[in-house]
Structure 1
Amino acid sequence: MVDTLSLEYFEKNLSQIYRNLPTSLLYEKIVTNREGQIAHLGPVVVRTGQYAEVAPEDKFIVKDAYSEEKVFWSDEKNALSESHFNTLFYRMMAYMHNKEAYVQDCLVGSDHESQMPIRIITETAWHSLFVRNMFFQVDGPDSLKSFTPGFTIIHIPGFTAIPEVDGTRSSSFVIVNLSRKVVLIGGSSYAGELRQAVFTLATYLMPESVFCMRCSANVGPEGDVALFLGREETGKTTLAMDPERRLIGDHAHGWSDKGLFNLERGGYARVMNIAKEKQPFIYECTRKFGSILENVSIEKTTRRVDLNNDSLTENTRCVYPLSHIPIASRETIFTHPKNIFLLTCDAYGVLPPIARLTPEQAVYAFLSAYTSKFNQTAAGDFEPQVMFSVAFGDTMIALPAYAYAKRLMENIMKYNIHCWLVNTGWSGEPSFKCDRIKIEYSRALIRAAISGELAKVAFETDPVFQFEIPKTCPGDAVPAQLLSPRESAEDAGEYELRAIRLVSEFMENFKQYEDIVPKEMRDMLSQIISIEDHLDLEDFGLSIG
């Protein structure tokens, strides 16, 4: 493979390179290339094809002398040889021979001192618009002329791998080559892979002083910052978009000694079944020029979209620049957070709508990253499953999970941050027996926590999880009975069984850290949840092996 990937190298193989086209010209290319349709009021509607997301097993890091030392290798990371990477790269270049390509030179990070320059080359105009919406643009022709990328991402969805030749598992792939400073993405039109690839690069290439986090964030009138950490469907974007506060960002942030800053300048929100009344800002983004609607249904004659139609997928998305959000802040860096909310969507009705956490409990929740995932059965029903992830990240996080946990603990202690668990799922009864917690209730509790009013009410300690549950919500904005799942459960004994099962899942998940987490941290975290200390399992006819 060539040592450097300059635009001159690509120009030798491509018929045309369109560099840094603005939104209006990209719209023209999208329509001319028949990549999408312009909907009523201006958004462009596109399709991503059969792949909703590239599977973790199809994501690789090239293993060479450099990455051998740079990467924390584990069972979750898939290695690809240099020879397979080279073969795949040249086959991709052959596929693109005499074709057109689109280039966006952009910056990752709003803090000028930590910005990371990247170049993203795409096969399609709509993916180039995605990139332009999502990351910070380079200002001025002189800056663009002298632009030198620190990393290059090549996204060719029309190209598919041959596993027997390329060393991949399937036809789709994401391959990170840290020594060559290149990412290859192919076989999938799902634009989220571009976003995830950039976050992966940020975890490796941002200055060591920057803690990269997947989270939403907002800031109050007095400059107080709140972080919202959670997996998809936990409501972190919706809750961060509080009309009484300014939005910082909805997905990825950097946290340095100076404070918090956004890694992105756009949003990528799920829009299936969203209502104007509950999510007004995102709803309006689906009706604006410059937004991209992924897999959203569009009526052929009126060109109006149907946000409630899931005939293609439930994972419909809206890609928008933050300038579309009227409450988005334009500042580049913010103060250190005062509150951290760790979000979950508990389908088993075990966890309370909100609970106060100690720093140790917050780190445990961060490492566990628990939520519920709904899988469709053969009969067409949806059944919840317990889902854990590693520090709200993915298979390509740069450091071992405990390193992120240690950094979080240090920041919580250093800046005296208040930590909260927020369950936006079901409380008291499982999902098939009661309604989901109203977003208005979650927002009221979060506002009370941020204002400090929630800390003034009486709390009770949960006998199993050991976190503290408020007995009331200031202003009675939330029914008191709902705050305690034990009290709202119809059958106290059956609730305890559900609680025990969930605790056992937490304990089983934590076993993965037994051999890799330093002893001091392992001893501290292993005491956070212990069933035997609080309940006699024999009373329920159960045991934990």
Structure 2
Amino acid sequence: MSDRRLLQNTNNLYRDISVSTLIEQQLSHRETLDGYTNEAIDFYRAEFPTYGLEAIGIKHPGRVYRNLCASKLIEHTLARGEGVLASNGALCVKTGKYTGRSPNDKFIVDEASSHDEIHWNQLNVPISEDNFNRLYRHVRAYIQGRDLYIFDGYVGADPKYRMGVRIINELPAQNLFAHQMFIRPTDEELDRHHADFTVLAVPGLHGDTDDGINSEAFIVAHFGKKLIIIGGSHYAGEIKKSVFSLMNYFMTKRDVLPMHCSANMDDRGNTALFFGLSGTGKTTLSADPDRRTIGDDEHGWSPEGIFNFEGGCYAKTIHLSREDEPHIWDAIRFGSLMENVVLDRATRNPDYHDNTLTENTRVAYPIHYIPDAVIPSIGSHPKTVIFLTADAFGVLPPISKLTKEQAMYHFISGYTSKLAGTERGITEPQATFSACFGKPFLPLSASVYAEMLGQRIEQHKIQVYLVNTGWSGGGYGVGRRMEIKHTRATIAAALNGDIDDVSFFPHPVFGVGVPERVPGVPSEILDPKHTWSDPDAYDRQALNLARRFAENFLRYPDAAPEIRAAGPVF
């Protein structure tokens, strides 16, 4: 059949069964449109636009869906058998082998425009441009004839600093994640949308180690092209963190400090920041019923104030309860996406205590699912900054006050415990240091971000507290995890000024200020040494942890002498 007869036949059948059915049948036998006349191709593209994918080298995909609403993305996922609805209305999917981030599979392209700025290390691993181009060819070949889902939106709630982002997905469920996690455009904004960043996620494509990667999974960022390709992993968190890494590079060029933190404000507009890695309680503690949420994970601090990078929240659900985390519990409803949450087979009720698949069970939902969320997600310069750490050694106080220099020291150190399930292969807490509480996502040297934070602390006279949400009375396996009600009380006291006039005494090893009293917190737990049955064992453990701090800080020889002097003494 000639191309013209094919086109005529298509036009005839359009009145009978729909052109989409015919063309889909044709594509099932022919992977590309090569060989058709321009007239036939133009007709096909008029019916099935590609929304400019050719600009990044993507040719001959299947159907391309752009900015579908949550309901349609859920329908597509269910029709493809890739997820189920839970009893609370949320879409529930499984991510298979990869139930957390895979840091060993993350690479940055070593290219001329960014080479001299990137802090190359064990987390910022270079990959050659030739290997990237080879991987990208595999991605484009894999996409041919496959349906794609596009989300065009923004990252950055402040219009002055926001960046256009395009997320291209093989899976509608991952596109739902993008739809809920990033900032959704208005119809007018969508008409004139320009993508500054592009992320292409094809979890069904397994990579080849011959292309310079370590496994079938790959997350590769090209800062020159502002392009990220992801393959082999169904874990949606890779998309979110990849965009964060781009922001951590480009925002510094605009005098914006990118931060791995949550933020909220009180009724008077007083803003607070919460720094901490996954599992330290950052999302939970910032979702305070008495304060309004600005955002739960990623923010920028511009000369004008704070703004959320995202339009949604990505919360852990393991051991979730309505009593302790009512905002998160109530946000899990139709439109939310749950990953690896186990459902009762008969009732489809979620079992948030079941860690059969992973400890890192997650839910993504738009920020407007939180009552009284600040929209747009913008706040003033903060009055208080909280560093959250889950101390597996049981050494640090529940709350301690930091001088500016101590704040810089602990920000650069970024101490916490890496908790089970946050990354693949982690089955129990491990002591770790992550610069700026987000080292895996920092393409630049930690000193760049630390210097920006120090300037803001000085300029705005900000009070900084270190809050331990980890263990007390002994290390992991011996002591007990801090009770969330006590942690909430310490944070409330810091934010409300209830400990402004309280006396503080210096910790004998770490030198941080330990309060003599905190409303709502038993005085006997404020000094961690008093919670140990063996005080000498506590001293040994404190010195052990102090040495780890000192050893880690050797990585930062360019830190100012006054910052180095703010570390522990032993």
Query: Same fold, TM exceeding 0.5?
Result: yes
Match of 2:511 among 461, 466, 486: 466
In the other structure, the counterpart of 2:200 is: 154
Q: Does 1:303 align with 2:341?
A: no
1:159–1:333 Cα change, 3 Å: same
Does the Cα contact within 8 Å between 1:261 and 1:333 map onto a contact in 2? yes
- Secondary structure (helix, strand or coil) at the match of 2:164 reads strand
Unaligned 5+ segments in structure 2 are 1-50
1:178–1:37 Cα change, 3 Å: same
In the other structure, the counterpart of 1:88 is: 135
Q: Distance in 1 between matches of 2:274 and 2:488?
A: 12
Q: CA deviation at 1:530?
A: 4.5
In the other structure, the counterpart of 1:539 is: none
- Secondary structure (helix, strand or coil) at the match of 1:395 reads helix
Q: Does 1:523 align with 2:561?
A: yes
Q: Does 1:443 align with 2:477?
A: no
Match of 1:480 among 520, 523, 526: 523
In the other structure, the counterpart of 1:536 is: none
Q: Does 1:7 align with 2:53?
A: yes
Q: Distance in 2 between matches of 1:133 and 1:530?
A: 42
In the other structure, the counterpart of 2:542 is: 499
Match of 1:169 among 214, 221, 224: 214
Q: CA deviation at 1:71?
A: 2.4
Does the Cα contact within 8 Å between 1:109 and 1:115 map onto a contact in 2? yes
* Superposition pairs of residues 20-419 of structure 1, within 5 angstroms: 20-140=67-187, 142-164=188-210, 166-206=211-251, 207-286=253-332, 288-373=333-418, 384-419=429-464
Unaligned 5+ segments in structure 1 are 533-545
- When the two structures are superposed, what TM-score results if normalisation uses the length of structure 1? 0.91
Does the Cα contact within 8 Å between 1:104 and 1:121 map onto a contact in 2? yes
User: Which amino acid is 2:95 matched to?
Assistant: T
Q: CA deviation at 1:11?
A: 6.8
- Secondary structure (helix, strand or coil) at the match of 1:512 reads coil
CA RMSD, 1 decimal:
1.9
* Superposition pairs of residues 421-440 of structure 1, within 5 angstroms: 421-440=466-485
1:94–1:230 Cα change, 3 Å: same
Does the Cα contact within 8 Å between 2:294 and 2:378 map onto a contact in 1? no
Q: CA deviation at 1:382?
A: 6.7
User: Which amino acid is 1:42 matched to?
Assistant: G
Q: Distance in 2 between matches of 1:84 and 1:108?
A: 28
In the other structure, the counterpart of 2:500 is: 455
Q: CA deviation at 1:56?
A: 2.2
Q: Distance in 2 between matches of 1:347 and 1:87?
A: 43
Q: Does 1:508 align with 2:551?
A: yes
Q: CA deviation at 1:205?
A: 2.4
Over residues 268-310 of structure 1, what are the superposed CA-to-partner deviations in whole Å (9 max), with x where a residue is unaligned? 1110111111111111223x10011100111233222211111
User: Which amino acid is 1:496 matched to?
Assistant: D
- When the two structures are superposed, what TM-score results if normalisation uses the length of structure 2? 0.87
- Secondary structure (helix, strand or coil) at the match of 2:116 reads helix
Does the Cα contact within 8 Å between 1:11 and 1:17 map onto a contact in 2? no
1:298–1:459 Cα change, 3 Å: same
Q: Distance in 2 between matches of 1:152 and 1:383?
A: 35
Over residues 321-349 of structure 1, what are the superposed CA-to-partner deviations in whole Å (9 max), with x where a residue is unaligned? 11111131113421101000101111221
User: Which amino acid is 1:226 matched to?
Assistant: A
In the other structure, the counterpart of 1:541 is: none
User: Which amino acid is 2:563 matched to?
Assistant: L
Q: Distance in 2 between matches of 1:54 and 1:526?
A: 32
In the other structure, the counterpart of 1:542 is: none
Does the Cα contact within 8 Å between 1:54 and 1:174 map onto a contact in 2? no
1:72–1:45 Cα change, 3 Å: same
Does the Cα contact within 8 Å between 1:445 and 1:454 map onto a contact in 2? no
Q: CA deviation at 1:373?
A: 3.2
Q: Distance in 1 between matches of 2:235 and 2:352?
A: 19
Q: CA deviation at 1:384?
A: 4.2
1:451–1:113 Cα change, 3 Å: same
Does the Cα contact within 8 Å between 1:285 and 1:318 map onto a contact in 2? no
Does the Cα contact within 8 Å between 2:359 and 2:420 map onto a contact in 1? no
- Secondary structure (helix, strand or coil) at the match of 1:407 reads helix
1:137–1:423 Cα change, 3 Å: same
Q: Distance in 1 between matches of 2:176 and 2:135?
A: 26
Q: CA deviation at 1:70?
A: 4.1
Compare CA radii of gyration and give the structure with the larger one: 2
Q: CA deviation at 1:53?
A: 3.1
Does the Cα contact within 8 Å between 1:119 and 1:153 map onto a contact in 2? yes
Q: CA deviation at 1:522?
A: 3.4
1:373–1:30 Cα change, 3 Å: same
Over residues 372-430 of structure 1, what are the superposed CA-to-partner deviations in whole Å (9 max), with x where a residue is unaligned? 23569xxx997543111121123341321011111111100100000101001122322
Does the Cα contact within 8 Å between 2:153 and 2:182 map onto a contact in 1? yes
- Secondary structure (helix, strand or coil) at the match of 2:511 reads coil
Aligned length, in residue pairs: 515
